[in-house]
């Protein structure tokens, strides 16, 4: 049994994984993060920054 939120998250993940352009964007972001060009945030950190910015 899945909650509605978990199901929606899974559906979004499957959509990204099945779209070559989106998957490429994710991979590019991962490369940028490894190279130190970005900062990796958790969802909670992002929400907190958005509410204070």
Domains in the chain: boundaries: 4-52
- pLDDT for 53 equals 66
User: What average pLDDT does the structure give for the chain?
Assistant: 92
Instruction: Measure the CA–CA gap between 46 and 36, rounded to whole angstroms.
Output: 18
- pLDDT for 40 equals 80
**Of the candidates 23, 5, 4, 27, the residue with the CA atom closest to the CA atom of residue 14:** 23
pLDDT in tens, 6-21: 999 999 999 999 999 9
Q: Which residue has the higher pLDDT, 38 or 5?
A: 5
For residue 52, what pLDDT band results from cuts at 50, 70 and 90? Answer: confident
pTM over 0.85: no
Task: Output the DSSP codes for the chain.
Answer: ---HHHHHHHHHHHHHHT-HHHHHHHHHHHHHHHTTSS----HHHHHHHHHH-
């Amino acid at each position: 049994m899945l909650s509605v939120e978990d199901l929606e998250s899974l559906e979004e993940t499957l959509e990204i994984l099945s779209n070559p352009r989106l998957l490429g964007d994710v991979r590019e972001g991962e490369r940028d993060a490894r190279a130190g060009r970005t900062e990796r945030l958790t969802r909670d950190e992002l929400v907190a920054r958005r509410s204070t910015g």
